[in-house]
């Protein structure tokens, strides 16, 4: 009897059905005690990994991720599975959960105060999140801010950060003790590696944190550090635009976003390195 890994990431529990052993081992490395093989509590979402056909088991092995009767992604080479599992988990949360306001953003927390970094891919938000998550900040999420409805607080998720292409080397060099997954080369988003920033014991101490600032980062290798305050009106529009489910939540979503906007300050930040930026974000969470 082969058991499937169950991932408890805090607000949600996933089961990865039919997970190949090597991938289970990689997941275990990233999730430590959040991964279990025994069912103790009901599971929210199931990713079922299946071969696309008998032939494809043998020649150029290819797999599909099914989520109940849905197949959200195209079939992929078996060797590219790990990032797809992470994306599949994101897909489940964004497609099926409407009990939180979800914003496409990474979340860094210090002194129980949170800063959101919503941004388009390529803005360097994941690298930034990973960099500070490995220092004296806690990375609540590198992809999705889970905001409690009717509040301005954000929940932590116990998940690895996902790094792309050159970011992988940058972070590896900046912290030689960090736990990485093997790099998956040649996904449709480039090369991907996952990074563990927190262990389960530490995660268990975390609680919802109040959002005090929102930063829209822009990485520009030739730029000096430029910090520019943004109006809360523009901030509101940008957060709504970066939300996965703002339009579905209706009035509840609007009220929640108002809470967040009323109690936060907004900044656009251009940066080429983290010098100076660390001091700036530190000030935002210190009173």
Partner 1 sequence: MTLPNIIQLFTTPSNIHKLSLENWQTLIRVLRGNDLLASFYYLLDRELLLNHVPHFALKHLESAEIYAKRQTQQIHLESESLVQFLGNADIQPIFLKGAAYVLRKDINHYGRVMSDIDILVPYSQLSLIENILKQNDWVEKTLDDYDEQYYRQWAHELPPYQHIYRGTTLDIHHTLLPPISGKLIPENELLSNLQTTNDGYLTLSPELIILHSVIHLFYNEDFTKSFRDVWDIHLLLMELEKHSDLTSLIKLSERLGFSDTLYIALKLRDKIFSTSSLGNYHRAQSSLHLLNYRYSKWTDLFINNVIYFAILPSHDLVDSYWSRCSRFIMFIRGHVLKMPLKILLPHLARKSYRYLVTLLLGRYHYEK
Of 96 and 274, the one with the shorter C-beta distance to partner 1 is: 96
C-beta separation of 235 from 266 below 8 A: yes
Q: What angle do CA 90, 93, 97 make, to 5 degrees?
A: 165
Pairing status of strand 265-271 against strand 209-219 = parallel
CB 98, min distance to partner 1, A:
4
What distance in Å separates the CA atoms of residue 56 and residue 39, rounded to the nearest whole number? Answer: 31
Beta strands 179-180 and 153-155: pairing type? unpaired
Shortest spacing between CB 97 and partner 1, in angstroms: 5
Identify whether the C-beta of residue 113 lies closer than 8 Å to the C-beta of residue 212.
Answer: yes
Instruction: Compare residues 46 and 280 and give the one whose CB is closer to partner 1.
Output: 46
From the DSSP assignment, how many helices (H) and strands (E) are in the chain?
Answer: 10, 18
- Give start and end residues of each alpha helix (H) in the chain: 21-31, 54-58, 81-96, 125-133, 166-174, 200-205, 232-241, 246-249, 251-262, 277-284
DSSP annotation of 80 reads: G
Report the nearest approach of partner 1 to the CB of residue 66 (Å). 8
For residue 2, with 0-12 CB atoms within 10 Å meaning exposed, 13-18 middle and 19 or more buried, which class applies?
exposed
Kindly tell me which of 48 and 151 has the beta carbon lying closer to partner 1: 48
Chain residues that interact with partner 1, rule: CB under 8 A: 41-44, 46, 48, 66, 68-70, 96-99, 247-250
Closer to partner 1 at the Cβ: 166 or 247?
Answer: 247
Provide the minimum distance between the beta carbon of 283 and partner 1 in the complex, in angstroms, as a whole number: 38
Q: Which is nearer to partner 1, 245 or 272 (CB)?
A: 245
CB of 96 to partner 1, least distance (A): 6
Sign of CA dihedral 130, 134, 136, 142: positive
41 vs 222, which CB is nearer to partner 1? 41
Residue 38 C-beta: closest distance to partner 1, Å: 13
CA angle 211, 212, 216 (to 5 degrees): 90
Please report how close the Cβ of residue 1 comes to partner 1 at its closest, in angstroms: 17
Query: Of 2 and 222, which CB lies nearer to partner 1 in the complex structure?
Result: 2
């Amino acid at each position: 009897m082969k058991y499937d890994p169950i991932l408890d990431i805090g607000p949600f529990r996933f089961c990865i059905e039919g997970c190949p052993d090597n991938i289970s081992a990689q997941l275990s490395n990233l999730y430590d005690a959040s991964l279990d093989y025994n069912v103790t509590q009901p599971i929210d979402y199931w990713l079922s990994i299946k071969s696309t056909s008998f032939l494809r088991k043998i020649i150029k092995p290819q797999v599909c991720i099914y989520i109940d009767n849905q197949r959200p992604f195209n079939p992929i080479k078996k060797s590219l599975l790990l990032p797809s599992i992470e994306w599949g988990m994101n897909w489940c949360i964004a497609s099926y959960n409407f009990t939180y306001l979800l914003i496409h953003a990474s979340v860094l927390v210090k002194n129980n105060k949170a800063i959101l970094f919503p941004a388009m891919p390529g803005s360097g938000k994941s690298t930034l999140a990973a960099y500070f998550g490995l220092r004296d900040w806690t990375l609540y999420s590198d992809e999705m801010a889970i905001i409690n409805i009717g509040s301005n607080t954000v929940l932590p998720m116990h998940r690895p950060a996902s790094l792309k292409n050159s970011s992988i080397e940058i972070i590896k060099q900046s912290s030689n003790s960090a736990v990485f997954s093997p790099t998956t080369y040649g996904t449709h988003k480039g090369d991907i590696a996952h990074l563990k920033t927190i262990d389960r014991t530490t995660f268990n101490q975390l609680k919802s944190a109040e959002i005090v600032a929102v930063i829209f980062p822009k990485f520009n290798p030739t730029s000096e550090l430029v910090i520019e305050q943004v109006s809360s009106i523009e901030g509101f529009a940008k957060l709504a635009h970066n939300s996965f489910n703002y339009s579905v939540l209706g009035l509840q979503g609007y009220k929640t976003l108002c809470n967040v906007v009323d109690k936060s300050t907004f900044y656009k930040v251009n940066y080429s390195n983290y010098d100076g930026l660390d001091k700036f974000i530190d000030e935002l969470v210190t009173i």
